[in-house]
Chains A and B, each alone.
Chain A
Amino acid sequence: MDAAQSTSPELSSNSPEPKPSTVPTQLLREKIREYTKKHREAIRAEVSDSLRFQLGEIKERIQELDNVTEKDVAGLAARIKRRKHATIEDMYRLSHAFLQNVANIQAFNKIPGSMQVLIKELTGNDSERQMSAAECLCNLSLGEGPVCEKIASAAGSYLVTYLHSTESQLVRLCLWIIANILATGQKCASVLMKMQLLPQLWKMYCDDEIADPLLDYREDAAICLQLMSLNAPNLMTQEDRNFVLQQMADKNPTCVAAEYHLFIVFHILFTEPHIISTLYPPDALYLLNFSLINLNNTNNFLTQPQRLKILYSIRVLGNLLVVQPLIYSTLLLQVSCVWKSSITALLNKLFAFHNEHLSQEALWLLKIILHLEEENAFMQPNILESIHIFEECMPFDDKPIEEEAAAAMAV
C-alpha cells in the first residue's frame, strides 16, 4: 500500500543508513521507567499504559534524552521506508524523537512514504507493532497543521475504525491522536469530521454501562467533543446538529466527564437561537435541571471542572430563559421545591466566589431574571436588595482589561 505513494526521489534513496544514535534504546526505556516510579505517588493511578507529555516537555523532565537528532530521525525514516517495515525499536526511538521537538517531526515528515510505513504497522497483524505505531502517530500529531493533515487523511479512516476495537489501549491512543488533530486546525479536523466522528464519540461519551475501568473512554471522548465543538462548529453538518439535538439528554449529570456536557451542547446548539427557542419541552427541562444540579452541587470555583460546570450552567440557563421565557416559572419552582433555595440565594452563591469574570456573567443572568420578573409582573419587590455583591470582585472602568485577566490567571 505504501510503495506507490513513496516515489518522490529527492530525499529518500540517498539518505545514509542511520548510525546507531548515542543513546541506546534500553537507556530510554530505563529513564522512562525511573521517571514513572519516582512520580508514582504524585500522579493519580491511571488505567492507561502511557505517560503523557507536551511537545518538548520530556526533555525538561527526563535528562539525557536530548540525543535523538533530526539526522537520526531522517535516517530512521529512510530505513523504515526502504524496508517497508518498522520494528518496535524504530518506533520507540521515533516516539521519543517526536516528543522532543517539532524539528524532529518535520524531519520525519520530509521523507515521503515514511508515514505510510507507520500506517502499515498500525493496520498490520502484529499487535505490539500496532501499538507502537499508534504511539508514534500520537507523538507525530504534536506537529503543526501540515503533518496533522497528512495523518488525518492517511490514517483517519483507521483511527475511526479502531474506536470500535476491543483493545483498550489502542482505542485510547486513537482518541488521543484524534484530539491532537482536532486541536490543530480546521483543515485537518474537517477530514475527520467527514467520518461520522461526532456520533461515534458521542456514544462513547454517554455510555454509562462500563464493565471495566479499562474500557472507560468517557473523559477522552469528552475532550474530543469539546475540541470539536469549540474549534469546528462550522464544520458540523445539519445531520451532526440534529444528532446532538436528539441525543442531548443521554448524558447523566452525575457521571464521569459530565462537566463537559453543557460546554459541548452550548457550543454546538446555542449558535442558533432558533434551535433553542424550539427545543422540545423535555429537552429544555433537561437543560434546566442539568444546570441547576451543576450550580447547586458545585461549591468551589477553583478547578477546571468546577469552572466549566458553573460558567456553562449560567450561559445555558440565561439563554434558555431569553428564548423560552415560560420556563422561568419552572425554574422558580425547581429552585424552591427541589433545592429548597431561592433564585437570589443561587445568584449570591455565584457572586460569593469572588471572581470578577464569573460575576460579570452572573450579572448577565441577573439582568435576564430582572427582566422576566418585570414582564411577569410578579416582581419580588426587593430582589436587588437581596443581592450581595462584594466591591472587590467587580471590575471598574478605570482598570485595564489586561490587568484584570492577569489577576484572574494568578488565582
Chain B
Amino acid sequence: MLKVRDIENLLQNIPNGYLKPDDNLFAKTNAAIILPYKKLGAINSVDIDKKLDEPDKNQQNSSEIFCNVFNCKMVFDNTASYTLHYNSMHRFICQECKKSLPTEHLLDLHLSEIHDSYFKARLDRGEKLYKCYVEECKEIFANAIERKKHCIEEHKFPANFRFGQVVPTKHNKEESKNNCGSTGMELETHTDTESVATTNETSIKNFSFGHQREKTFQLKPEPKTKSGQGKGLESFSLLKDALDMDVSK
C-alpha cells in the first residue's frame, strides 16, 4: 500500500484541472484498454431449413401468398418474405394515387403537395410550405425547386434523388419562370402514377392506413407455378434464429 507521501509524489506528475477529450492522459488510456471499432460486413444467414419448418409452412405446404395491394403482382411462398415485401414497399402508400413511398415523412409530403387542395390555396397566398426531404431538417421553402436546390447544396443529395416529389404542372411552370437560368436543374417530370391534384376536398392527411395483414394475402389451396419474380427467392425473413457473430475482440 502506498504511503501518503508516495501518493503526493504521484500526484505531482498528474496534470491539473480541465482536460479536453483529446488530452494525452485520456488518449493513452483509450489506446491501451479501449477496443477501437472494427468495420464489419454482413452476410445473410437465415437458415432456410429452419424456415421450412415454420408452422405456417407445415400447415399449408403448397400455399402461396399473393400481394393484393393495387397493381402489385408479387407472389410469395412464405409469410416472412411477404412481410418484408409489405413493410418496405406498401407501408406508406398513397390511397389517392397508389404511389408507394419509403417513409411516413415522404408520404406526408406527397399527400399535401400533390393531393391537398388546402395546401394549394395556401401556396397561392404565398405561404412557404415545401418541407425539406430530410425529416430532421426544419427548413421550409416557397417551391419545390428551392427545396431541391437546398437538398443538393446543404444535404449533398444527388440531383436525381429518387423519392423527390413530382411538382404539379401549374406550379412547375410558374417556378420555372421564376427560376429560369438560375439553376441548371431539371424538374422531376416523371409522371408514372402521379396525378395532379384535383379539387377534392377530402382531408387525406388524416387517413389511417389500417392495412390488416390477415386480409391482405390470400392463401390458395392449389399449388401454382410462381411468377418469374417470386421464383427462387430465398427470403431474408424475420426469423430470429439467425445469429450475430460479434467477433470484434
Contact = CB atoms under 8 A, between A and B. Distances in A.
Contact of A161 (B4, B18, B102, B137): B102
Contacts, number: 291
Interface in A332-369: 355, 357-358, 360-361, 363-364, 366-368
B2 A157 contact: no
B121 interface: no
Nearest to A28: B43
Given A36-B47, A409-B33, A47 B41 contact: no
Contact of A157 (B17, B18, B161, B238): B161
B162 A95 contact: no
Contacts of A52: 40-42, 244-247
Nearest to B48: A33
Nearest to B2: A389
A53 B247 contact: yes
B216 to A, nearest CB: 15
A92 B21 CA distance: 42
B84 A127 contact: yes
Interface in A27-42: 29, 32-33, 35-37, 39-40
A54 B89 CA distance: 31
Given A367-B16, A394-B2, A54 B38 contact: yes
A158 B158 CA distance: 10
A408 B137 CA distance: 45
B89 A125 contact: yes
A180 B137 CA distance: 24
A214 interface: yes
A44 B17 CA distance: 43
Interface in B46-75: 46-49
A290 interface: no
Contact of A48 (B25, B26, B242): B242
Contacts of A157: 133, 151, 155-158, 161
Interface residues of A, number: 114
Nearest to B11: A367
B31 interface: yes
A167 B14 contact: no
Given A46-B242, A385-B4, A184 B39 contact: yes
B98 to A, nearest CB: 12
B88 A49 contact: no
Nearest to A396: B10
Given A50-B44, A167-B84, A389-B1, A183 B39 contact: yes
A36 B45 contact: yes
A330 interface: no
A248 interface: no
Interface string A139-178: 1011000000000011011101110111111100100100
A196 B136 contact: yes
Given A130-B88, A307-B33, A53 B244 contact: no
Contact of A304 (B15, B18, B34, B136): B34
A57 B21 contact: no
A43 B244 contact: yes
Interface stretch (B174-182, B219-227, B229-237): B229-237
Nearest to A319: B18
Contacts of A367: 11, 14, 16
A307 B39 contact: no
Interface stretch (A74-82, A249-257, A267-275, A279-287): A267-275
B35 A304 contact: yes
Contacts of A51: 42-45, 242-245
A361 B14 CA distance: 8
A271 B21 contact: yes
Contacts of B81: 127-128
Given A142-B39, A360-B14, A57 B247 contact: yes
Interface of A: 1, 29, 32-33, 35-37, 39-40, 43-55, 57-58, 88, 92, 95-96, 98-99, 123, 125-128, 130-132, 135, 138-139, 141-142, 153-154, 156-158, 160-162, 164-170, 173, 176, 179-180, 183-184, 191, 194-196, 199-200, 214, 223, 226-227, 233, 266-267, 270-271, 273, 304, 307-308, 311, 315, 318-319, 322-323, 355, 357-358, 360-361, 363-364, 366-368, 370, 384-385, 387-391, 394, 401, 404-405, 408-409, 411
16 contacts: A29-B48, A36-B242, A36-B243, A43-B244, A49-B236, A51-B243, A52-B244, A123-B102, A127-B84, A164-B135, A179-B37, A179-B39, A311-B26, A361-B26, A363-B11, A405-B32
